[in-house]
Structure 1
Amino acid sequence: MVSDLYWRMGFGQIHAGLLIISLIATFYSKGTFRFLFAAVAIILLIFAWYRYQRWNGTPWRKVHGRGMLLYASCAGLEQAKATSEGRRFSIENACYDLAEKMCGQDKILEVMTMIGDLQDEQGLFLQDLILTNFHYVAQKSSPDSIHALAQAAESVKFGPHLVIANIIYNTHGPHEATRYAIALLKGDAH
Structure 2
Amino acid sequence: MFSTKKISIAVLFASVISFPSFAASPVCTEKQWVPEKFTCKSGGANTLQTFDDFTAGSCTRTPGEYIDVVVACPPPPPPEGRWVNATVDKVTETYTQPSKDGPRTMTRTTYKVSTHAATCQAAGLKAAKFKDQYVCASGEARPYEGKDYGSINYKLGKWGGGGWAGNLTPTSGSRINCYGSGQKQDNDATDVVVAWFCQ
* TM-score, length of structure 2 as denominator length: 0.23
Q: Which of the two has greater helix per residue? A: 1
Larger Rg: 2
Q: Which of the two has greater strand per residue? A: 2
